[in-house]
Amino acid sequence: MEFYWAYANYEDGMKLVEELYKKIAMDVFGKTKFETRGHKFDLGGKWKRIDYREIIKKETGIDVLQTTEKEIKNKLEELKIVYDGDTMERLVDTLWKHCRKQISGPVFLTGHPKLVSPLSKSMEKNPELTERFQIIIAGAEVGNGFSFVEMLEYGMPPTCGFGFGELLFAFLADKPLRETQFFPLMKPKNLE
């Protein structure tokens, strides 16, 4: 599911999404406290914010705005993390995915570098960072939103967009993803 909210920014989006997730939890499951995949979390309180750059630096010692591809590759090899792709964008994203596994959440991840968020609007105070947020629950990204780039204002007003899918319901119901999809992909019975 996704939405676009005209004349809103990512701050507005975070407020709406926090309330939306709380409402979904209460209306569908009758509670805000959950446990899944070794993580306990409560959607009911005020959600924290964590900074993309700071969490990676804290966990790996690498500042993603002040590093090189070689330094990231060395760190990934040191951590025994298999990576595919040699672009800076892919390497930074691989570091992040390693760091997020320990986060139970719910938290808003903010401060994404422009290099991993090309459609997000740049922050006025630091154009290397973007007006983007992700929702992290049980070590996974279960929602993504941002203020759209300024160039799109010629075709639409300033807008916040947000999307989420089956993963949220899989986590809240503590079910495999396949059981939360309307039409899950199935392997053929006979592979000849």
4 DSSP 8-state letter: E
Q: Over the chain, what is the mean pLDDT?
A: 86
Average pLDDT over residues 100-124: 90
> How many domains does the chain contain in total?
1
Hey, what long-range contacts does 147-152 have (CB within 8 A, 24 or more apart)?
Answer: 147/9, 147/10, 147/13, 147/120, 147/121, 148/119, 148/120, 148/121, 149/118, 149/119, 149/120, 149/121, 149/122, 150/121
**What pTM value is reported for the model?**
0.83
Buried-exposed string 147-181: b where 16+ CB fall within 10 A, e elsewhere: bbbeeeeeeeeebbbbebebbbbbbbeeeeeeebe
34 DSSP 8-state letter: E
pLDDT one-digit tens code per residue, 31-45: 999 998 889 999 999
Q: Are 163 and 43 in contact (CB under 8 A)?
A: no
In what helix (H) or strand (E) does residue 134 lie, and over which residues does it extend?
Answer: strand 132-137
Q: Is residue 165 part of a domain?
A: yes
pLDDT one-digit tens code per residue, 49-58: 999 999 999 9
Q: Is residue 184 part of a domain?
A: no
Q: Is residue 181 part of a domain?
A: no
pLDDT one-digit tens code per residue, 68-109: 999 999 999 999 998 887 889 899 999 999 999 989 989 999
Q: Is residue 180 part of a domain?
A: no
Q: Is residue 72 part of a domain?
A: yes
Q: Is residue 182 part of a domain?
A: no
What's 146's domain CATH number?
A: 3.30.930.10
- As given in the structure block, the two tokens for residue 162 are 């947000």
pLDDT band at 111 (very low <50, low <70, confident <90, very high): very high
Q: Is residue 103 part of a domain?
A: yes
pLDDT (0 to 100) of residue 161: 84
Q: Is residue 92 part of a domain?
A: yes
What pairs with residue 110 in β-bridges? Answer: 51, 133
Full residue range of the structural domain in which residue 79 is found:
2-175
| Helix (H/G/I), strand (E/B), else coil: 146 | strand
